[in-house]
Amino acid sequence: MKLGVLKETKSKENRVALSPNVVKSLISKGHSICVENGAGQGSSYSDEAYINAGATISSSSDIYKTSEVLLRINAPSDSEISELKEGIIWISILLHKSNPELMEKLAAKKVTAISMDAIPRISRAQSMDVLSSQANLAGYKAVILGANEMGKMFPLMMTAAGTITPAKVLIYGIGVAGLQAIATAKRLGAVVEATDVRPETKEQAESLGAKFIQVEGASVQSEGGYAKEASEEYLAKQKEAVNKSLFNADLVITTALVPGRKAPVLITEEQVKQMKMGSVIVDMAAEQGGNCEATEMDNIVTKHGVKLVGISNLPGTLANVASELYAKNMATFLDHLTTAEGFKWEMEEEITKATVITKDGAVLNS
């Protein structure tokens, strides 16, 4: 198949859909690949590296005209949809549940849109799971960002001048990002506590050395690997259980997201007022509205003596390795969806059914 790799147009996006290493692998399987000039620059991949891997370099307009499949990290804009030819296949993170109007526009153009973020969280799809590979990096970077913004260090240290006590870190959400944040903070020497609406995550948190904060008498079930949206009653109980740790924490990292909905508010501005002066909150849900009421997206601000870090797209700040992992996810996904002759279109197969969002002018998943 003729695969086209487009340069990202979203602000502050440095990742690219395929790395030179994965391009070489896909070409060895019979695909031809054209990469937009400069597409890999933000990820430290030169055009020459893609040429050496066997790809050709071209303009976006040529790629739109000649490709059978277009690959990217992010969804197309309205102006880009107007350039898509009828019947072309587009594969990227589409966040289709949050963007129903965009899906209708793709369907109207008879684009077959396949969403990488819709891959179900089942064991045989783990190697394709973009959300997990990118969240893993984001959890690591959240701790590094927090450490950089704090006015103290993480580990216990014995010095001639006295003992430095370890930092206290509190993590909301024990998914992929939260687990990596726990592991990273522990490796740096912090005392870590963690909480999640799903009681089954307790063992995972404790296996990495974190103390799990249990919300007594309440729980939220998970669905497809994600927590369902918690009730107001549950959130109130969680707030009560976590407040002592929150007010004593040096660094707080929030990771809670609900697919297709605004991020739940876990920390109110009133709670921020009661936190230690000089403490830091890294809000990983900033792009979806934030888990903290006081967060400002893509800003680092200080309110009530607390520093709030609302940097969005944390994987994009680790563009080189994030692109490599995304590309490997993409290659495995393509192997699953295709044969040497092209796409299999096994529409009742679980992964295919979940990820093909628009096809033949219709929206199949909403």
The active-site residue, picked from 25, 67, 115, 132, is 132
User: Is the CA virtual torsion 94, 67, 78, 138 positive or negative?
Assistant: positive
Active site residue 129: yes
The question of whether 121 is a catalytic residue gets the answer yes
Of the residues 44, 46, 61, 126, only one is catalytic, namely: 126
238 catalytic residue (yes or no): no
- 32, 41, 121, 245: which is the annotated catalytic residue? 121
Catalytic residue among 19, 25, 43, 129: 129
Active site residue 180: no
Structure tokens at 256: 């809670």
Q: Which of 226, 234, 245, 335 is catalytic?
A: 226
Residue 335: both structure tokens together: 């192997």
Q: How far is CA 341 from CA 146, 244, 270, 353, in A?
A: 49, 60, 60, 20
Active site residue 226: yes
The catalytic site residues sit at 121, 126, 129, 132, 226
